[in-house]
């Protein structure tokens, strides 16, 4: 089963986040970028992947088009594990975390989609199967800064049926507003995106103590300071979560050896795809660390996360960004209803993207980014 064509499709979709203005990854945004990776094979199976993400999608797209796609043409999609292992090594000089690894992640997800379609099975069944047909989602609110907006959206998320709410705020008034809005019975997480020194993180973790956080995410700058994060975890007695910015399996090993986290968050569109993510889930199990994957996306990466999380032996919540897209490439499969998300039951990822959505929102004209063979 040879790969005959590799195409990247970048779409940008307007969204409503329930706030007047919105920062995503440090930039004001009114649209969400989703980068699709499409692989075609000579036996007619098409696989879809997603490569990270947000404001770096143009860079990731260029990296796939110019660097990774030529390495894929003519290769056997059914020898997937060997191909990914080879590409991990060939691409290492271009960074173990960044556009090359994001691109490889998208390719890996597309190869798993192909594997599922070739087998005629939904991906979660290739990964071990499950009796669960839907998963608990947690609402991952964006950063609003205004406590009144935090309160309004946190309350709205609970009214929509979410039982877990995560804020992306970095100060006490906003976290207090969130907790007061949702009451004591809803799990509250706070994701800070690496703002603080260890000393400041310890101080803030103690100031957040009255709000009974389910976890405190990435309180320490830089994310590779695993010893510093461990010091916050021990010193403040707070559950810590991290991993969306880790560099693969070995970085997670260091994170676990340092005793830095209660919750490991490998991100399927960043870490090397499903193949690398599954290694990290096994490693987390060996270290007694809970794994709750990072999933800040709405493309094939979200479907991949649904399948991976569904196949985990213990029931695990799945992250869903709290925003309403003007159009979804996967229709109902990106929606949470009453705080629950359906596990797609079709072969592979279970659903192909809606061609009308891709056509309407794509940022570049269709082009043969690599020549067909
Ligand atoms: Mg995060």
CATH (domain of 29) = 3.30.390.10
Which domain, by its residues, includes 187? 125-342
100 and 193 in a single domain? The answer is no
Same domain, 173 and 105: no
Domain count, the chain: 2
pLDDT of residue 258: 98
Q: What does the alpha-carbon distance between residue 294 and residue 271 come to, in Å, rounded to a whole number? A: 10
DSSP string, 7-55: EEEEEEEEEE-SSSS-EETTEE-SEEEEEEEEEEETTS-EEEEEE--GG
Do 240 and 100 belong to one domain?
Answer: no
* Domain assignment present for 129: yes
Query: How many angstroms does the Cα of residue 191 sit away from the middle of ligand 1?
Result: 5
Answer yes or no: are the C-beta atoms of 38 and 78 closer than 8 Å.
no
Is there a domain that residue 347 lies in? no
pLDDT for the residue numbered 21: 67
Tokens of 360: 């309407």
Same domain, 103 and 194: no
What pLDDT is attached to residue 370? Answer: 57
CATH number of the structural domain spanning residue 142: 3.20.20.120
In a domain, 151, yes or no: yes
Residues 110 and 164 in one domain: no
User: What is the 296 CA–ligand 1 centroid distance (Å)?
Assistant: 8
Specify whether 364 is catalytic: no
Residue 107 domain-assigned?
A: yes
- Which pLDDT does position 373 carry in this prediction? 43
Do 63 and 183 have their domain in common? no
72 and 177 inside one domain? no
* Same domain assignment for residues 205 and 302: yes
Q: Are residues 244 and 217 in the same domain?
A: yes
Extract the residue ranges of the chain whose pLDDT is less than 70. 21, 368-373
Residue 277: what pLDDT? 98
Same domain, 116 and 142: no
192 and 314 part of one domain: yes
Tokens of 249: 């399996």
Catalytic-labelled residue, pool 80, 226, 294, 307: 294
State which residues have CB under 5 angstroms from ligand 1, the bound ion: 191
Q: Report yes or no on 348 lying in a domain.
A: no
- Which sign, positive or negative, has the C-alpha torsion 244, 14, 337, 275? negative
Q: Going by C-beta distance under 8 Å and a sequence separation of 6 or more, which residues neighbour residue 131?
A: none
181 assigned to some structural domain: yes
Which tokens belong to 371? 């020549």
Does pTM top 0.85 for this prediction?
yes
CA of 4 to the centre of ligand 1 (A): 36
Do 186 and 285 lie in one domain? The reply is: yes
| C-alpha 357 to ligand 1 mean position (Å) | 27
How far is ligand 1, taken at its centre, from the CA of residue 85, in Å? 27
């Amino acid at each position: 089963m040879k790969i005959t064509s590799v195409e990247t499709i970048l779409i940008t979709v307007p969204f409503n986040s329930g706030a007047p203005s919105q920062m995503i990854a440090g930039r004001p945004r009114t649209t969400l970028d989703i980068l699709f990776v499409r692989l075609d094979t000579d036996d007619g199976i098409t696989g879809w992947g997603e490569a990270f993400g947000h404001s770096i999608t143009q860079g990731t797209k260029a990296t796939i088009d110019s660097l990774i796609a030529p390495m894929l043409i003519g290769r056997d999609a059914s020898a997937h594990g060997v191909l990914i292992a080879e590409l991990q090594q060939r691409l290492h000089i271009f960074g173990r975390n960044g556009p090359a690894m994001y691109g490889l992640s998208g390719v890996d997800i597309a190869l798993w989609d192909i594997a599922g379609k070739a087998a005629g099975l939904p991906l979660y069944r290739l990964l071990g199967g499950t009796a669960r047909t839907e998963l608990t989602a947690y609402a991952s609110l964006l950063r609003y800064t205004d406590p009144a907006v935090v309160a309004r959206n946190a309350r709205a998320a609970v009214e929509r049926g979410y039982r877990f709410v995560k804020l992306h705020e970095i100060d006490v008034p906003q976290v207090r507003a969130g907790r007061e809005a949702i009451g004591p019975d809803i799990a509250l997480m706070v994701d800070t995106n690496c703002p603080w020194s260890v000393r400041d993180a310890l101080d803030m973790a103690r100031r957040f103590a009255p709000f009974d956080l389910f976890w405190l995410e990435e309180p320490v700058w830089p994310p590779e300071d695993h010893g510093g994060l461990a010091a916050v975890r021990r010193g403040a007695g707070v559950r810590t979560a991290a991993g969306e910015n880790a560099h693969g399996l070995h970085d997670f090993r260091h994170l676990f050896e340092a005793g830095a986290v209660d919750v490991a968050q490998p991100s399927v569109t960043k870490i090397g795809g499903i193949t690398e993510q599954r290694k990290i889930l096994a490693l987390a199990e060996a270290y007694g660390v809970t794994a709750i994957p990072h999933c800040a996306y709405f493309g094939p990466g979200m479907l991949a996360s649904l399948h991976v999380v569904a196949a985990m032996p213990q029931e695990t919540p799945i992250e869903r960004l709290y925003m309403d897209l003007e159009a979804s490439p996967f229709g109902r499969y990106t929606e949470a209803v009453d705080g629950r998300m359906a596990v797609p039951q079709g072969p592979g990822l279970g659903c192909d993207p809606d061609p009308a959505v891709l056509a309407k929102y794509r940022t570049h004209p269709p082009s043969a980014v690599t020549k067909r063979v």
